[in-house]
Amino acid sequence: MAEQDQTEVLGEKLYSVIYPKHPSMAGKLTGMLLELPTTLVQQMIQDENILLAGLEKALGALHMPASISIADPEYEDDCFESRDLLGEKLYGLVDGYNTGYSEKITGMLLEQKKEEVKKLILDPRLLQDKVQIALTALEEGTAECLSSKTEVKESLGEKLFALIKDIDSVNCASITGMLLEMEPTALQRLQQDRMALKSAVQKAQAALLLNCSSHSGDSVHIDEEKNIDSEMEKLGEALYAYVINTEFEKYAEKITDVNYGTASSFLLRGT
């Protein structure tokens, strides 16, 4: 699209958002704001806060000497600073990248000089590069933090193991593993507070005992089932031996394929 055509399109859009606010001065204000950089004009069309800031300065400029232009760098800078728009606008742009760190990245970028931050708002490509750099720094920092956290837990685990061994030398390894699921700060407290450590060990011992009892119950149940199966086999054999000596000899196999109660009943009748 030709530059003139683009300016006309922007002018029409800008006029349409200015007219409801200042009908009698819409044309004049539109012409004044069109002197600003195209990127800033586009932002005014999309963001009412930036538009209001621009209109405020434009209305003020109408009462200034003719030598002062609304397109002066100082005016453009004031427009961005008005109503804390600098941080808000930057956050809105950064949030569009869906990094999950919008607030942190915005804070990092706002540490730069105002002129540099303004460039980021006006230049999408530059902003993207800066966001990527900030994101990389944050992710590397997070990875280092996780690595450090693991190392801290390992160190605490070794110290706790020695303390727990004095309390329960048999289950010290299992109990240490259970306690290491806690946060490092809680583990440090256990290391420093003997009573808290004993209490935590007792709870872990109770959990281990409960778990052991559960497995023991399962074992007993399995043994009972094995005993029942063994009794059934013996009854089946005895019943078969009895039937083949009767007039139902040829039905011996079918007859012996019965349940425990029936087999017991047959044998009792025959004895």
**211-240 as b/e, with b when 16 or more CB fall inside 10 Å?**
eeeeeeeeeeeeeeeeeeeeeeeebeebbe
Output the pLDDT for position 40.
81
| pLDDT above 70: residue 196 | yes
Output the pLDDT for position 260.
45
pLDDT tens digits, residue range 82-100? 446 777 788 888 888 888 8
DSSP three-state, residue 250: helix
| Closest among 191, 149, 200, 142 to 171, alpha carbons compared | 200
Fold of 3-122: c-terminal domain of poly(a) binding protein (1.10.1900)
Output the pLDDT for position 220.
47
Residues with Cβ < 8 Å from 134, sequence gap 6 or more? 101, 104, 105, 108, 109
Task: Compute the average pLDDT of residues 7-24.
Answer: 87
pLDDT tens digits, residue range 18-41? 988 888 888 888 888 888 878 888
Tokens 């590069």, residue located: 129
- Separation between Cα atoms, residue 188 and residue 161, nearest integer Å: 13
Output the pLDDT for position 123.
84
- The region that residue 98 occupies, defined by phi over 0 for left and psi between -120 and 50 for alpha, beta otherwise, is left
Output the pLDDT for position 37.
79
Tokens of 106: 């915005």
Evaluate the CA torsion angle 239, 241, 244, 245 in order and state its sign: negative
Task: Compute the average pLDDT of residues 4-9.
Answer: 77
Output the pLDDT for position 268.
52
**Quick one: how far is CA 229 from the chain centroid?**
52
The more confidently predicted of residues 89 and 230 is 89
The more confidently predicted of residues 79 and 173 is 173
Output the pLDDT for position 241.
72
Task: Compute the average pLDDT of residues 162-191.
Answer: 85
Output the pLDDT for position 67.
43
- Separation between Cα atoms, residue 183 and residue 198, nearest integer Å: 18
| Closest among 67, 61, 75, 77 to 28, alpha carbons compared | 61
| pLDDT above 50: residue 117 | yes
